[in-house]
């Protein structure tokens, strides 16, 4: 008996070592192999929905202007094992490493086991809605604007009015006239986003209000070094409800004009569950029904959906949804997809996206490509995925009990979010540019 147990242990260790080498191509063992629950998270067999909303996204040098083509990015990360094409670029800054999960194709990944349940609770008849465009709506730009600043931009004080304990302290290089989502008189999320293109750092604020002295008040904020795959602390928010950055998920006109969007997009739904899926770190809901979508859920357009007849801008976005999909980042309108405002957008063309319904989408299981806890780095297509069943069996017979492995693709409950939960985002359809899509919990 002891000999048999020793043999099992040896086999288990061999499997784990081989899995690490095959899946990662280096000495890094995937977090999906073993991920010990942190002090602020715990695996839940199926957490439930919630309701709440958070910030949106940002412009480029000024509302409606596009960053000029520029020199090679200053924050270009070293090529990672299995990394494909270069990461998206704004000005001189790369938007996250090429192997970040935002920039990974998900066309090769399996469908999530709870795909039908998640989409059923979103509503199979819900239509994809572009929450961005050209022109103005209610006096503000349509979409989430952002500003690109140089490394010499003066940094100003930031005062947090709500979630300072989960926010990154200032100062931040945000100009006094930085564009505000919805315009200066908007209510809603009032995102203010700034990219320091020389140093490769993204600064984001939620519900931001400028002060006469050039400083800003905001409910929450986050600083994102764009050459890093680091995630927020488990349980922490950001300028977005899911604890994710906003800018990486924005549809940008310059990308469409350049031929393709090569990253996931950001989207919202009216109700989520009080749980998260990687790479999200924060939930904004009181619902514990496991059939509602968790923050961080990735949806993609089914491969068999014919998009040939769609007008050019819509077709480019739909190609992106097939290849990269979209990540659930906030509570708001059903299937509202985020983008930056730009005079190049054709609003009639974008309106054709309403021909796509939730029934044409499917949820993606990304659990097999996570590399490490606390990181958004993802194994790339062709890099090999370790069969979860094999890894779980190997871990189960190890002599030292590490910690129970959560089922593949299972949401993680964020306990800390409970104290914020309570407000429910509107379930009615929201017109494009409506900034009252709910409140962060």
> Can you tell me which residue has the tokens 């600043």?
149
Alpha carbon 32 to chain centroid distance?
Answer: 19
What pLDDT is recorded for position 409?
60
pLDDT tens digits, one per residue of 203-236: 999 999 999 999 999 999 999 999 999 999 999 9
> Can you tell me which residue has the tokens 């097999």?
368
What pLDDT is recorded for position 384?
52
What pLDDT is recorded for position 404?
39
**Bigger pLDDT: 315 or 423?**
315
Ranking 100-109, 242-251, 317-326, 391-400 by mean pLDDT, the lowest is 391-400
Q: For residue 107, what are the CA distances in angstroms to 40, 302, 323, 325? A: 32, 9, 5, 8
pLDDT tens digits, one per residue of 166-210: 999 999 999 999 999 999 999 999 999 999 999 999 999 999 999
Range ranked top by mean pLDDT from 42-46, 313-317, 388-392: 313-317
pLDDT tens digits, one per residue of 126-149: 999 999 999 999 889 999 999 999
> Can you tell me which residue has the tokens 């985002």?
425
pLDDT confidence band for 9 (50 / 70 / 90): low
- % of the chain with per-residue pLDDT over 70: 67
Confidence (pTM): 0.75
CA distance 295 to 97: 22
CB 362 within 8 A of CB 119: yes
Reply yes or no on whether the pLDDT at 59 is more than 50. no
- In whole numbers, what is the pLDDT of the chain averaged over residues? 78
Reply yes or no on whether the pLDDT at 423 is more than 90. no
pLDDT confidence band for 401 (50 / 70 / 90): very low
pLDDT confidence band for 86 (50 / 70 / 90): confident
Longest alpha-carbon distance in the chain: 77
End-to-end Cα distance, the chain: 54
**Bigger pLDDT: 19 or 34?**
19
Mean pLDDT of all residues in 61-71: 35
Beta bridge partners of 364: 111, 298
Give the 3-state DSSP-derived string for the chain, with helices as H, strands as E and coil as C.
CHHHHHHHHHHHHHHHHHHHHHHHCCCCCCCCCCCCCCCCEEECCCCCEECCCCCCCCCCCCCCCCCCCCCCCCCCCCCCCCCCCCCCEECCEECCCCCEHHHCCCCCCCECCCHHHHHHHHCCCCECEEECCCCEECCEECCCCCEEECCCCCCECEEECCCHHHCCCCCECCCCCCCCCCCCCCCCCCCEEEEECCCCEEEEEECCEECCCCCEEECEEEEEECCCCECCCCCCCCCCCCCCCCHHHCECHHHHHHCCCCCCEEEEECCEEEEECCCCCCCCCCCCCCCCCEECCEEEECCCCCCCCCCHHHHHHHHHHHHCCEEEEEECCCCEEEECCCCCCCHHHHHHHHHCEHHHEEEECCCCCECCCCECEECCCCCCCCCHHHHHHHHHCCCCCCCCCCCCCCCEEEHHHHHCCCCCCCCCCCCCCCCCCCCCC
Mean pLDDT of all residues in 62-87: 43
CB 340 within 8 A of CB 132: yes
What pLDDT is recorded for position 408?
53
pLDDT tens digits, one per residue of 266-321: 999 999 999 999 999 999 999 999 999 999 999 999 999 999 999 999 999 999 99
Reply yes or no on whether the pLDDT at 52 is more than 80. no
What pLDDT is recorded for position 8?
52
Reply yes or no on whether the pLDDT at 48 is more than 60. no
Mean pLDDT of all residues in 46-62: 33
- From the list 435, 412, 231, the residue with the least C-alpha distance to 330 is 435
CB 227 within 8 A of CB 93: no
- % of the chain with per-residue pLDDT over 90: 66
The β-bridge relationship of strands 265-269 and 272-276 is unpaired
CA atoms 432, 434, 440, 441: torsion sign: negative
Ranking 341-345, 346-350, 382-386, 402-406 by mean pLDDT, the lowest is 402-406
């Amino acid at each position: 008996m002891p000999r048999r147990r020793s043999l099992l242990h040896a086999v288990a260790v061999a499997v784990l070592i081989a899995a690490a080498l095959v899946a990662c191509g280096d000495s890094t063992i995937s977090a999906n192999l073993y991920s010990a629950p942190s002090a602020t998270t715990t695996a839940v067999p199926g957490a439930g929905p919630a309701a709440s909303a958070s910030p949106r996204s940002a412009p480029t040098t000024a509302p409606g202007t596009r960053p000029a083509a520029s020199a090679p990015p200053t924050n270009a990360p070293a090529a990672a094992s299995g990394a494909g094409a270069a990461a998206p670029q704004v000005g001189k800054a790369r938007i996250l490493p090429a192997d970040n999960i935002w920039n990974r194709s998900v066309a090769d990944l399996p469908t999530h086991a709870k795909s039908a349940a998640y989409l059923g609770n979103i509503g199979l008849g819900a239509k994809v809605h572009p929450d961005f465009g050209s022109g103005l709506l209610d006096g503000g730009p349509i979409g989430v604007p952002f500003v690109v600043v140089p490394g010499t931009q003066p940094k100003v004080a930031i005062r947090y009015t709500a979630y300072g304990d989960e926010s990154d302290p200032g100062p931040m290089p945000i100009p006094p006239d930085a564009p505000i989502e919805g315009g200066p008189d908007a209510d809603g999320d009032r995102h203010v986003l700034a990219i320091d293109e020389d140093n490769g750092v993204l600064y984001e604020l939620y519900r931001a209000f400028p002060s006469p002295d050039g400083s800003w008040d905001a409910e929450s904020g986050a600083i994102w070094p764009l050459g890093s795959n680091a995630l927020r602390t488990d349980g922490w928010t950001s300028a977005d409800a899911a604890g994710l950055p906003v800018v990486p998920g924005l549809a940008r006109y310059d990308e469409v004009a350049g031929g393709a969007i090569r990253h996931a997009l950001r989207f919202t739904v009216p109700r989520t569950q009080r749980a998260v899926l990687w790479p999200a770190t924060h939930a904004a809901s009181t619902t514990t029904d496991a059939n509602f979508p968790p923050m961080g859920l990735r949806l993609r357009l089914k491969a068999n959906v014919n998009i040939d007849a769609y007008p050019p801008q819509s077709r480019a976005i739909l190609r992106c949804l097939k290849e990269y999909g979209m990540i659930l980042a906030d509570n708001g309108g059903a299937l509202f997809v985020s983008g930056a405002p730009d005079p190049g957008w054709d609003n009639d063309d974008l309106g054709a996206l309403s021909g796509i319904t939730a029934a044409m989408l499917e949820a993606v299981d990304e659990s097999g490509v996570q590399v490490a806890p606390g990181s958004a780095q993802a194994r790339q297509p062709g890099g090999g995925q370790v069969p979860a069943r094999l890894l779980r069996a190997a871990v189960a017979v190890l002599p030292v009990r590490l910690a129970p492995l959560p089922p593949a693709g299972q949401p993680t409950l964020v306990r800390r979010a409970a104290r914020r939960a309570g407000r429910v985002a509107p379930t009615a359809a929201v017109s494009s540019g409506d900034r009252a899509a709910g409140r962060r919990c």
